[in-house]
Amino acid sequence: MGYRSDVTIMMYPKNAKDFAALKLYADETLPDHFEVREGGSGDKYLLFQFDGVKWYEGYEEVDVYTRAFSEWEGTFLDEADPHGEPIFHYEFMRIGEEYEDVHYERSYGSAHALNMSRETYIDF
């Protein structure tokens, strides 16, 4: 069994014209297939959701993401941006089994589009 988490990763370009380059990066670098989605404004983003996954450091697929996110700003630095915002953004959220166990991280300048909601319901 083991401790399991739900993980959501979304990635999107700073400028819509760069979406194809971001998709190519994800396809060639990351171990999972990201879905192409479209936001309310028509901008495209990449989405991957893992439900009930063992998300532990030391697992090869987890470490690929950990490395990519730790190097994100340096890898995708927009040299023309005076604030150092990268050309691609990511948002990552892991929600563990325990109520307080939520981890969220994102790239500098991201839209903070990824959120969570916990609901209660009665199963009578």
Token pair in block for residue 119: 């609901």
Confidence of residue 62 (pLDDT cuts 50, 70, 90): very high
List the end-to-end C-alpha distance of the chain, in Å, as a whole number: 27
Backbone angles phi, psi at 27, to 5 degrees: -65, -35
What does the alpha-carbon distance between residue 7 and residue 24 come to, in Å, rounded to a whole number? 22
pLDDT in tens, 67-108: 999 999 999 999 999 998 999 999 999 999 999 999 999 999
User: What is the CATH number that goes with domain 5-106?
Assistant: 3.30.70
Largest CA distance in the chain: 58
pTM for this entry? 0.91
Q: How confident is the model at residue 120 (pLDDT cuts 50, 70, 90)?
A: confident
